[in-house]
Structure 1
Amino acid sequence: MTKKTYRKTLSANDAGETKSHQAGMLIPKADVEFRSFLGDLDPTIKNPRRTIHCLDEHGEEIELQFIYYNNKLHDETGTRNEFRLTCLTGYLRQSGAKSGDELELSKDEGQEFFKLRLIANSHSDEDTGETSNRIVLRGWRRIH
């Protein structure tokens, strides 16, 4: 059985620290591998979505939404043409997520549920023990 695992380092915006409203985590259009991992969305439909059924590290069920906001392709005045993973705010707040922590999403081939977990980052230098505010931001990256 094949397992695929992806991680994303959370930005302050992802973790809700900026108090701004966003429509979920951006998934770059060029990241075809990760989008394929989440499942196909039909671009001929306006704003197609699919439900991603997850189990968190405590066995709780969480439903995420993988959405292709594509009104730019369907409406004369549309402006959006982006992929997002939404419905994470409650989980991230409950888990105490902070910028620099990592969100992990994995799935075993043939299984219905994805696995979702938060990996806390100590945010401190191992030698000095001082906290660092510098975070290297990246998109979703394949781990396994």
Structure 2
Amino acid sequence: MKLDCMKPSKEWEAPFFKVLAKNDTGEGKGHQAGVLIPKSLRQYFPQLNGTTSSRQPTIDQRVNAELYDGEKFLSSVNTRYQYQSWSDTRSHESRLTDQLGPIHSIAQGGDVLVMQRNGLKQNRFRLTLIRKSSSHFELVLPVIGRRRWGAL
């Protein structure tokens, strides 16, 4: 059993991860969508220029992502990396949203999302869902320990 997402390669940079909260998945209630990207992981995503305001509550950039459920390829999508501020009523947070349904619909709180940026195309990512219920989870757990996100 191998997980290509667990190591850098000629094509893919070193992986980073996030343990998904319930609000990062289809289990979440409310109007939040997609995966919250903690501040310390923003360095792996394209820089967003500009300022959020009541007139411009989001700043975004489209990125391409290959979605996997473990080793199984699900889909290639054009998703959105954004800062959102709820019409400038709160501090902006970064999220990856739009077209993540193939992962979002099967993910549960506590699952791990392993992410990698393409070494040649900085707006291309590989997102691999490692479900708690999968045999791959046992491979990932010792590497992440008790951390909620970070580099692998």
Q: Same fold (TM over 0.5)?
A: yes
- Confirm or deny: 8 A CA contact 2:67 2:103 kept in the other structure: no
Residue 66 of structure 1 and its aligned partner are, at CA, apart by 0.9
C-alpha separation between the residues in 2 aligned to 1:108 and 1:44?
27
- Runs of 4 or more consecutive aligned structure 1 residues displaced over 3 Å after TM superposition: none
User: Which structure 2 segments of 5+ residues have no match?
Assistant: 1-9, 135-145
**Which residue pairs with 1:69 in the alignment?**
84
C-alpha separation between the residues in 2 aligned to 1:106 and 1:55?
10
| 1:37-116 alignment, distance < 5 Å | 37-44=44-51, 46=56, 47-57=58-68, 58=73, 60-70=75-85, 78-80=88-90, 81-87=92-98, 89-94=100-105, 96-111=106-121, 113-116=124-127
With the length of structure 2 as denominator, give the TM-score of the two structures.
0.65
Q: Would the alpha carbon gap of residues 60 and 28 (structure 1) be closer, same or farther in structure 2, given more than 3 Å must change?
A: closer
User: Which structure 1 segments of 5+ residues have no match?
Assistant: 73-77, 124-135
- Confirm or deny: 8 A CA contact 2:60 2:83 kept in the other structure: yes
- Confirm or deny: 8 A CA contact 2:21 2:110 kept in the other structure: yes
**Which residue pairs with 1:7 in the alignment?**
17
RMSD: 2.7
The percentage of counterpart residues that share the same residue type is 31
- Count of aligned positions: 121
Residue 137 of structure 1 and its aligned partner are, at CA, apart by 7.5
Q: Would the alpha carbon gap of residues 44 and 99 (structure 1) be closer, same or farther in structure 2, given more than 3 Å must change?
A: closer
- Confirm or deny: 8 A CA contact 1:38 1:52 kept in the other structure: no
**Which residue pairs with 1:119 in the alignment?**
130
Q: Would the alpha carbon gap of residues 37 and 93 (structure 1) be closer, same or farther in structure 2, given more than 3 Å must change?
A: closer
What amino acid does structure 1 have at the position aligned with 2:125?
Answer: F
